[in-house]
Structure 1
Amino acid sequence: MNGLSLNVRGVGDDVKVNWVRRLKIHHKATFVGLQETQISNFSKINVKGCWDSNKYDFDGVESNGRSGGLISIWDTRCFQKLEAIKNQHFLVVIGKCKNIDGNLNMVNSYGLQSLADKKKLWKELLRIKNEKHGMWVVFGDFNAFRNLGERYAYLAAKLRFLKELIKKWRKEEGKKETKVFSDTKNMVNELEKLAEFRPLTTMEKAKIKWTVDGDENTKFFHGYINNKNMRNLLHGVMINSHWTTEVNEIKEVVFKFYERKFKEDHVSRPKLINSRFKTI
């Protein structure tokens, strides 16, 4: 009998299911234990996809939301279940195994984080072991490391897994970005084709001419400025039905015009009488 234990960190997609199946076939496993299924209803797991024949049976423990979850799958030609004992963090499948006398107790476990919780878990398993006779096989993810090197190896494996996920995500996003860019480019081309047949307004023509000639043609630039200055220039004024271009006469008329504009006919302003106010 060959056993296989895997922390799958979610087994809801076909990629994980096919991965479990390949490992099962490669190692010729007849009993497979999965931890962290992350599925609250283990009966919805694609167990058939994880196995390479119809000769199988399974049992499991539901996850707590996205945390935990256990499932054990076995070849019924090698192992026959008698009973199962379940806990949120372990699954004990008791049965008969071919070529083994007595019961075989297969323990699929997902360990807790804190040391105190770990002690409670092992104490409970020890109690069950004292009550149930037979051979015991304990496997799973115990959330523990034998040494610092093992911890580093575990972290390195998680980083490699994360790197592969990022590469896969970047590849998919790259395809989406390429499609968006292509669609946008085609849309711009269509708009440019439509713009070729639309008549331009006078303002648009002026802006185009300025863009084409204004910064590169000095004669055009100075001509535009001089024309604007000519429109703003005061050449003369009509005074008492008489046209005059005399500068001093024009200045005097303009001054008197604005003097009348800003002169008050009736001066009425409040007076402030206070000896403490300073005077200039």
Structure 2
Amino acid sequence: MDAKAERSKFIQGQKQKVQELEKKIKKLKGAMKEAAQKELEELESQQEAELAAFEGVPGSSADGSADKAKGAEPEMSLKELSKFKDRGNWNGLSKKELEDDCTERGLGKKGGKEDLIQRLIMFHQDLQLKLKEAAANGEAPVADEKDDDDEDEEEDDEDDDDDEEEEEDDMPEVDDEELEKQAKREKAIQKAVKFLLTDKCSDGFPLSELVQKLEMVNVKGFAPEKLGYKSVEKFVRGQPENVLRYRRKEQMILPPRK
């Protein structure tokens, strides 16, 4: 491929990304739309720098800094991206945890907590779109070998995608102060649940017994709404695997992955 054709292909790829994001912006509202518009501005700025770096303009690179283009890290493959889990309810995480999640996914970590949450939501929406397109083209990433628990959990997540989208709009909006309170409450509950599963109930226990089990370790009056979740099951499903594992078919809460 000659330089002209390669440049044309590169520019076309950039335009496609912009068009996909513009289509998405038209469907969004409120804070999510603003976050997506911000992302579009950042994308266009980044693409200008990428094009300059591609054309060999001295001192230019994708992030606008001098002479970094050659040393830039390659973009993650779709297979690598597909390993990232959508937590569903990002409100329950602290700002530090959100920043860490953004960094892991190659996203910027600047901005307030709401900015980080919207960035992560947009990332996973984009990822789902790419995975569907890849599957339609017969190019779906090959999954790593999983144990039975992993396969069950993945099936549960797929079954619940539509339910989560329908219920997402029903969650009341809260200010930053309340978000911080919810994150602190969730930290305390996570610690209690992890203690239960590692020291008291190593075989796990049914979802229906969570409140009762928490009372065993002096955690009374547990209510998922205080943590930003619509139900006990939503709380459980929103937890990382280093806290607990959940098998929805059996509605069993299992010890965290070691």
Q: What range describes the TM-score normalised by the shorter chain of this pair?
A: under 0.3
Q: Which of the two has higher C-alpha Rg?
A: 1
Larger strand proportion of the pair? 1
Which structure carries more relative contact order (alpha carbon 8 Å, separation 6+)?
A: 2
